[in-house]
Structure 1
Amino acid sequence: MKDQAVPEDAPDLMAARRLSTKETADRLGVKPETVYAYVSRGQLSSRRAPGGRGSTFDATEVDALARRSGRRESSVAGTGDLVFRTGITLIESDRYYFRGVDATELALRHSYEEVAEWLWTGVLRPGIRFAAPTEALAAARRAVGALPAHSGSTDRLRVAVVAAATADPLRFDLSREAVIAGARSLIPTLVRALPAVSGGPSTADDRERTSGEEERTSGKEVGLARLLWPKLTARPADGPSVAVLDTALALLIDHDLAASTLAARMAASAHAHPYAVVSAGLGVLEGPLHGAASGLAHRMLAEVLERGSAVPVVADQLRTGRGVPGLGHRLYASEDPRARTLFALLADVPEAAPALAAAQDVVATAARHAPLHANVDLALAVLSVSCGMSAEAGETAFAVSRTAGWIAHALEEYGERPLRIRPSGQYGGPRPPQPLPSAER
């Protein structure tokens, strides 16, 4: 847990998975009266809502009934888009929620591991830490160490996932308990398999020495954000900056059905094991329009600081027909709540002042052209620029964090009808019958 006491409303986090009568009816596709009929027949259990107004229902129990009755659909006819019912993230009115709880409040009050654990289990476990198994970590480090020096962090993470999977002969166990246990092991394995930024050891002896130093600092009291810190920057860790990184990790865990999450759910729909689910997510995340977007914002901010003004930099972006990195989000009309939260924390980090001012300059300058607001990529860029991180640091943090979200979605998808995600293609090629192709002469 972060450096503060557990809030008085912490028990409410565990209750967040309870649904109102209306929410239950909507999820089941029935009338409220039918919900109470299910209760009377013993198919659902209910609990009086606080204050005695109405009843509440356990989301897991409701989803199980929905699957048995065939009410849940993978798509909505006529919309042209796949639509999935999910109990993980809700985005509305320029805010977003994890299982009905304000995600920004969760991230400010709880560590990345606590939020991830609660998303998976519905249980808040203050102070929980994830540990990497020795065999899986050794396999991941060997595989990552064999990559070319120019390999990017996402390359290393993809290889580490595959290596960790080979070290887990029970990876095909898709029971909820096994998947969650594997996730607790996989995430720290990915982080600790990455080389430190300090240039990276060049010999086997150096690698072993670096490993030993990490072992002495990776006890149960060390959170994932602090383990990740030396993989992103050579600067010594300080409390405020690590706290910002930890909050960023918690904020980025999930964001509804982003492209990488959809890929992860499709893999889970085919009952791919959790490592393969994470691999599917990582494959999509690397695109410049998704996880790599923060790198573009990083380079832009660095240029603004070098040139002393955002005006020529933004002008260059617009002149070449490119959008301004770090601005705008299709799901928010105003500022991305994740960016707003991180900017507020970064304001208390003295080293972040120049990069924060540069980001504000970018927003103000771009506003002359279009009313766009900052998104989380710009906030990640402020963190990476001010802490001496590389341009890909934001993508690395994004990938590590989102792994927990992909696992949460996999847990949901494993409970659905297998292979239900099967869109139909609209054929636009030549109509048959066509003659067989002939070889060129």
Structure 2
Amino acid sequence: MAERLTTQQVAEQLGVKVETVYAYASRGQLSSERAPGGRGSTFDAREVAELAARGRRAPVRPPAGESAAVDRPGAEAWPGGPVTVRTGLTLIENGRLYYRGRDAVRLAAEHGFEAAVAWLWGQGTDAPVSLRVPPATAEALTRAAAALPDGIRLPDRLRIAATVGAALDPLRFDLREQTVLAAGSALIAGMVEALPRTAPDPGPDATLAARLWSRLATTAPTPEALACLDRALVLLIDHELAVSTVAARVAASARAHPYAVVSAGLGATDGPLHGAASPLAQRMLAEVLADGAVPVVSDYLRTGRAIPGLGHRLYPDGDPRAVALLDAVARLDGGAAVVAAVAEVEAAAGPAGRPALRANIDLALAAMALTAGLPAEAGEVVFAVARTPGWLAHAVEEYREEPLRMRARGSYTGPPPQRS
């Protein structure tokens, strides 16, 4: 077994305070496990050594007369120390994901998206949130969508929906919790409304999952397919301080209104390493189904490309969200073959003599979209729509904090200032 270090040992090896060690863990720079007996945490000695090496390769050089920001081992803290993001929303611990103390996988199995949103927003699950868009906003979104040229990507339409919703909401600068969440409910529904309908209209009383399906698929869903999409939405509703959530909280710290907060989160999902990872995984998985896992994985390795959808630093033993979603995918028509292809990719990509890399939620989303015949952009859309209530919940928390606290400091590496 790999050597494990206590929190104090890690702090001494990195030359930082114990609090900073926990900050590294919360940012995903170190993975922790509960110590035997349940007291304290332990850390992988190899990860600690790699983090220390990165810090030595990139020394901190603060401006003259000022102390350095705590973003590398060995650095001194700015006055007041690093920003600590207190959140009562999501916990990732011992390979499990919890929303307000409730296991996310179990919540996804027992409740739909509207009830999960209510739970995350602190309202319980007995009264699911109504995700409806006002008629005037729906009409404006329809006109905006009609004015767009053909070929506009679906994720880009979500960003337009946030802009249109903000322009039509005179109360968008009211940052009281009740107003923010009411605006958020309409925005989530409006994002779906902004997508062109490609399947039969499920009706005005349909769930958000059913309405979203009618924008992604070309045929009406089976009950199993709709339940699978609903499960994906719940599993993706929040994920602690993921990069898009940090972007959303930074915007909220500047007291940006909720539509701008969501726009910040959407912007962070546009890269291939976060929300847009699923389309890459879907393309790879389609190649595996056509040609087999070994030649496809070999080609990725030969060309130096990362295999999309494998591994997650917070889940070294496997992403529980992926396990739960793949279980639902396997029940769909044709899903067993796609899930088997995922397992083949895991086996082919695993280094000899070491445990295989496991599928993460991006590959599971790709498997769902491929099985259901959804477009390559579907996973990216599902991710963004699902994560929006999480961004809003974090914004509500951030609005209660000191404004403008999410201010990083740079480590200047340019030429010295010219002095007259």
TM-score by length of 2: 0.78
* Contact kept in structure 2, 1:342 and 1:379, CA below 8 Å: yes
Instruction: Pick one of 391, 395, 400 that aligns with 1:406.
Output: 391
Matching residue of 1:159? 160
Partners of 1:81 and 1:360 in 2: CA distance: 41
Which residues of 2 match residues 82-93 of structure 1 at below 5 A? 82-93=83-94
Specify the alignment match of 1:263 in structure 2: 247
CA RMSD of aligned residues (A): 2.1
Q: Verify the 8 A CA contact 1:140 1:161 in the aligned structure 2.
A: no
* SS of aligned partner of 1:412: helix
**1:324 maps onto 2:325 in alignment:** no
- Cα pair 1:75 1:84 within 8 Å, conserved: no
Contact 1:235 1:388 in 2 (8 A): no
1:77-117 CA distance string (max 9 Å, x none): 75997541111111111111111111111111111111111
Cα distance in structure 1, aligned partners of 2:219 and 2:393 = 33
**Aligned letter for 2:392?**
I
Task: Determine whether 1:224 maps to 2:224.
Answer: no
Of the three residues 209, 221, 230, the one matched with 1:237 is 221
Q: How many residues align?
A: 345
What is the aligned counterpart of 1:416 among 395, 401, 413?
401
Give the gaps of 5 or more residues in structure 2.
Answer: 1-18, 20-68
- The structure that has the greater radius of gyration is 1
Residues 183 and 407 in structure 1, CA contact (< 8 A), matched pair in contact too: yes
Q: Deviations over 1:14-56 (max 9, x none)?
A: xxxxxxxxxxxx9xxxxxxxxxxxxxxxxxxxxxxxxxxxxxx
Query: Are 1:326 and 1:376, in contact at CA under 8 Å, matched by a contact in 2?
Result: yes
Distance 2:342 2:309 in 1: 9
User: Is 1:348–2:331 an aligned residue pair?
Assistant: yes
Q: Distance in 1 between matches of 2:84 and 2:380?
A: 27
Question: Does residue 313 of the first structure (1) align with residue 296 of the second (2)?
Answer: yes
Q: Is 1:269–1:419's contact at 8 Å kept on the other side of the alignment?
A: yes
CA distance in 2, matches of 1:360, 1:411: 40
**1:100–1:75 distance in 2 versus 1, CA, 3 Å:** farther
In the alignment, is the contact (CA less than 8 A) between 1:141 and 1:160 conserved in 2?
no
Q: 1:386 aligned to 2:371?
A: yes
Structure 1 residues not aligned, in runs of 5+: 1-25, 27-73, 199-212, 436-441
Specify the alignment match of 2:343 in structure 1: 360
Equivalent AA in structure 2 for residue 402 of structure 1: R
Percent identity between the two aligned chains:
50
CA shift in 2, pair 1:125/1:182, >3 Å: farther
Partner of 2:413: 428
1:75–1:83: 8 Å Cα contact kept in structure 2? no
* Pairwise CA distance, 1:144: 2.5
What is the identity, as a one-letter code, of the residue corresponding to 2:103? D
- Match for 1:276 among 236, 256, 260? 260
Equivalent residues of 2:115, 2:124 under 8 A apart = no
How far apart, in 1, do the equivalents of 2:233 and 2:418 lie? 55
Q: How does 1:41-80 map to 2 (within 5 A)?
A: 78=77
Contact 1:111 1:246 in 2 (8 A): yes
Confirm or deny: 8 A CA contact 1:75 1:82 kept in the other structure. Answer: no
Q: TM (normalized to structure 1)?
A: 0.75
Match of 2:176 in 1: 175
Runs of 4+ aligned residues of structure 1 deviating over 4 Å after TM superposition are 74-82
Deviations 1:55-87 (A, max 9, x none): xxxxxxxxxxxxxxxxxxx98975997541111
Other-structure match for 2:7: none
The Cα shift of 1:128 comes to: 4.4
CA shift for structure 1 position 344: 1.4
Name the amino acid aligned to 2:309.
G
Kindly report which structure 2 residues correspond to 1:139-158, keeping only aligned pairs within 5 A, or say none: 139-158=140-159
Q: Tell me if structure 1 keeps the 8 A contact 2:70–2:77.
A: no
Measured after TM superposition, the shift of residue 355 of structure 1 is: 1.3
